[in-house]
Amino acid sequence: MNMDQKALREISARPEVSEIVLNLTKKWLEPETVLKKASTDKKPRAQEGPTPAFENFNTYGLEIIQADDVREKLKLEGSGITVAVLDTGVEATHQEFRNADGSSRVRVGQSFVPGENNSGIDGNGHGTHCASVVGGNVHGVAKKSTILAVKVLGSDGSGSFTGIVNGIQHAIGQGSEVLSLSLGTDSDSRGEDFVERTVRQGIESGVVFCIAAGNAGPNARTVGIPGSTPTAITVGAVNQRGELANFSSRGPNADNVAKPEICGPGVNIRAGFPNNSFEFLSGTSMATPHVAGVVALILNANKNLSPQQVKQLLIDTATGEAAANSTGAGLANALKAVEKIQNGQDPDPDPDPDPDPDPDPQPEEPELDPKQKKKLEKKLTQDTKKAAKNEIKEILKANSSKAGRTIKEVSVNLATKTATLQVQFQVGRGKNRRKQLLQLKMVDNNGTIAFDEESRQKIVAFATGS
């Protein structure tokens, strides 16, 4: 339906209308790689290392997050917890979800995809694979959890914004304790859009959201909507050695909130696929249901934890490398998280730090010799130029601007890990030509170099002509 601006203003002025949003249909699934043959890669469980090891590559994801140890040692498998998988549907009859009496642990929820009315059928495979990682008999993290299948994406991976929002509301209304969303856009925008708002409101109602960071790495600021929601648990992907996948999207989000918070196994993950089969896939889509399964185990141990407490518990008990805006706190660990609950150590989200009236003086860092300093300054300058080009391109694209830009000068400060840039912008031709030299600032935050908010606003102002 076509509608001019006058009609839109008239409708928006009505008292019963709170908001008008553009409902786009787009692809929410980024390509995942498929491994056709199983690997023989193996790391004995007894081997020491920052990441727990594994014996069977087919189920390595369960082993390195120690979900198998929770089942075997603590006898918890997610019983009584419902995890909603919002995706392309779930093959409800798959052997992965079959109970001993022949019934299925998949509850078939509503479909929000026109022309594909059955959420218990998956014409793509993505949803079945993700659900199998959450609660499959062989590949599931929480094998006794209930899966609520909510179809928000069609067989081609496309869905509408309102379909996603309606799916979220439906899943919450059906009593789900956890929502797993292995979907997202390829970019974020400043402020809160209506999908992010729906996620936030769902979290405030007591539901845990696990959302894929995306597969647009390794550049910074590649986490899209709805993984950009600040209070959600946004999930990056690591391989079997606990190393961050190159494709895993990096933070921060458009409002400079660090993302992701946690990682899960997401490279060459074997799980269920339509027609009662199995496939290997890679992506943060595979990492997310691993973490959603861990959350089901956590709630199986203590159902009274709030979403904020669950998130903090995952952060506090993560293993492996921690780095803001890439791996977050590290790799989720089910055993450490559940044991902390059973030991009576409930997490306290955002605890106030204890005051230290008389802190011990810290030793001063040794000064660099001139040669070392020059080498580091050169590297920081190169990294800053590269990051600046990428981020400026992203900001201009987001604001539909074709402005040209030239980085004139870069001055770095090793002590503060900041850089000041002189960037010439210009757009238009002849009498319509507009140019401006902007002084901008970038900050190195744990290896992620990005503009500060004031600088981003300067670029947006030029791009929009405001």
Q: Catalytic residues, which ones? A: 87, 126, 285
Please name the residue ranges forming H helices in 348-412. Answer: 370-398
One-letter amino acid for residue 246 of the chain: N
* Distance separating alpha carbons of residues 260 and 257, to the nearest angstrom: 9
Secondary structure (3-state) at 437? strand
Torsion of CA 32, 33, 37, 38, to 10 degrees: -60
Q: How many CB atoms lie within 10 A of CB 162?
A: 17
DSSP 3-46: --HHHHHHHHTSTT--------EEE------EE-S-----B-TT
Q: Note whether 341 and 301 are within 8 A (CB).
A: yes
Q: How far is CA 307 from CA 79, 201, 294, 339, in A?
A: 18, 12, 13, 18
Residue 420 is classified by DSSP as: E
Residue 323 is classified by DSSP as: B
| Token output for 30 | 């980024």
* Distance separating alpha carbons of residues 272 and 254, to the nearest angstrom: 35
The alpha carbon of residue 53 and the mean position of all alpha carbons in its chain are separated, in whole angstroms, by 24
Order the strands of the 106-111 sheet from edge to edge. 106-111, 146-151, 82-87, 178-181, 208-212, 233-238, 262-265
* Distance separating alpha carbons of residues 182 and 264, to the nearest angstrom: 12
| Token output for 66 | 């120690």
* Distance separating alpha carbons of residues 315 and 339, to the nearest angstrom: 14
Angle (nearest 5°) at CA 165 between 159 and 171: 105
* Distance separating alpha carbons of residues 206 and 203, to the nearest angstrom: 5
* Distance separating alpha carbons of residues 365 and 387, to the nearest angstrom: 27
Strands (E) across 91-228 are located at 106-111, 146-151, 158-160, 178-181, 208-212
